[in-house]
Amino acid sequence: MYSADYLRNFTFRLFSKLGCPEDDASTIADILVAAERRGISSHGMIRIKNYYLMHEKGRINVRPEIQTIRETPSTAVVDGGGAYGMVAAKRSMQIAIEKARNAGTGWVTTKNSNHFGIAGYYSMMALEEDMIGIAMTNANPFVAPTFSKSRLLGTNPVAVAIPAGKYPPYVADFATTPIARGKLTIKGRQGESVEEGLVQDAEGRSSTDPDVIKEGGAILPLGSDRAHGSHKGYCLNSIVDIFSAVFSGANFGPFVPPQVPFLSPPDEQVGEGLGHFFGAMRIDAFQEKEEFKNRMDKWMETFRKAENIDGEPEVMIPGDPERAMEKKTEREGIELLNSVEKDLGELADKLCLDFEIKRS
């Protein structure tokens, strides 16, 4: 088990070695470790090796010029300068928050960026400002629209964070597919099958093999099939793609450049990098702050009182599972997969850093 501090310090030093300015290395470390603390290890330390290799291949700019290239009182288009996604995304969300201070709300669409880690982090930046935060991103194409076998969309997550008063905030952070890509990979490695309604094979036939994704298969949109509303999941997923990439001038749909070093970007590019979309809304744009928070508290009390089905867990408020994991990892530490420890150990050797292997 590792402490969050240990992993944060290691990650900070690693990205500093790659040439990132101190603030940027610190941002990347914070966000990767936040994923581990919140139990979303698919977006945590496991990503470092690929992030490193993407830099080595010259596909990441560690000294980016991140700039607003177009704006109105409540909006900005940000050029991420080819930065690590976390760096471009955090700056973009800060701009959304600054816009909201003056205009009531702020909306930022970002191009020329890369994989940004957990969407929830950026949405939660708004909470300290008594604002509602929204973050979304497009991603590599593994998702087929309803009726199709073509992989045209990413798992395109959406995060929304809303402050409450005496209770912890409402924080929804979800892929717009029934299952996230990272979870499928883990199932595949463990040789397990998955339920029907999550993936299809290359011909579009229902499959229970998570590895069909490696053989031209696709992840289904939220809703799974037409009878269960997959066309609605396709709508939601494609809205994220359009807001993130058509608005900003990034690559949309199947043109999103792969975020792994061993796959090259598609020959045709329709923009720069991948895209994100951020929003910030002042709660006092809608109600007096106290009143707003009281109303959210009442909303949460109402949902806490929901009667659960016999044998099922208690009803949750979005954000509960991640908060439970934060408590657990704070108490017990953060566990890494053997393969992740090994990768980080090798990277540490290469970069003359210390990394303590705990398990292998």
Identity of the amino acid at 189: R
The string of DSSP letters for 60-83 reads: S-SS---EEEEEETTEEEEE-TT-
CB 170 within 8 A of CB 126: no
Enumerate residues 9-68 that contact its own copies by CB under 8 A: none
Contact criterion met (CB below 8 Å) for 2 and 11: no
Q: At what angle do helices 338-350 and 48-56 cross, to 10 degrees?
A: 40
Interface with its own copies: number of residues (CB under 8 A) = 89
Task: Select the residue interacting with its own copies from 3, 67, 264, 287 (CB under 8 A).
Answer: 287
Judged by CB under 8 A, which stretch of 14-22, 120-128, 150-158, 208-216 contacts its own copies? Answer: 150-158
Min. distance of Cβ 259 from its own copies in angstroms?
20
- State which residue, 208 or 264, has the beta carbon closest to its own copies: 208
Burial of 2 (0-12, 13-18, 19+ CB in 10 A): buried
Candidate residues 34, 83, 212, 222; the one interacting with its own copies per rule CB under 8 A: 222
Give exposure, 28-65, as e/b (b: 16+ Cβ within 10 Å).
bbbbbbbbbbbbbbbbbbbbbbbbbebbeeebbbbebe
Exposure on the CB side of residue 354, measured as CA atoms within 13 A: 3
- Counted residue by residue, the chain has a size of 360
Taking CB under 8 A as the criterion, which residues in 229-268 touch its own copies? 229, 231-236, 238-239, 241-242, 246-249, 252-255
Tell me: does residue 142 bind its own copies (CB under 8 A). no
* Residues 53, 335 contacting (CB under 8 angstroms): no
Provide the pairing of β-strand 170-174 with 199-200.
Answer: unpaired
Which of 228, 289, 323, 342 binds its own copies (CB under 8 A)? It is 228
Tell me how far, at minimum, the Cβ of 62 lies from its own copies, in Å: 28
Q: Which of 224, 244, 259, 329 binds its own copies (CB under 8 A)?
A: 224
Near its own copies by CB under 8 A: residue from 85, 145, 210, 257? 145
Q: Environment class of residue 172 by beta-carbon count within 10 Å: exposed (0-12), middle (13-18) or buried (19+)? A: middle
Site for its own copies in 160-189 (CB under 8 A): 160, 162, 170, 172, 174-179
Task: Judge contact between 139 and 115, C-beta under 8 A.
Answer: yes
Considering the complex, what minimum distance in angstroms separates the CB of residue 85 from its own copies?
A: 19
Using CA atoms of 188, 189, 193, 194 in order, give the dihedral in degrees to the nearest 10.
Answer: -50
What residues between 107 and 126 interact with its own copies by CB under 8 A? 107, 109
Please identify, among the stretches 55-63, 81-89, 258-266, 285-293, the one whose residues bind its own copies according to the rule CB under 8 A: 285-293
Residues 307-346 interacting with its own copies (rule: CB under 8 A):
307-310, 312-316, 318
Q: Which two tokens stand for residue 195?
A: 């339920």
Partners of residue 275 on adjacent β-strands? none
In angstroms, give the least distance from the CB of 213 to its own copies. Answer: 16
5 is a site residue for its own copies (CB under 8 A): no
Compose the 68-87 pattern: x for residues touching its own copies by CB under 8 A, - for all others. --xxxxxx-x----------
CB of 353 to its own copies, least distance (A): 38
Note whether 291 and 165 are within 8 A (CB): no
Q: Whole-number minimum distance, CB 17 to its own copies, in Å?
A: 37
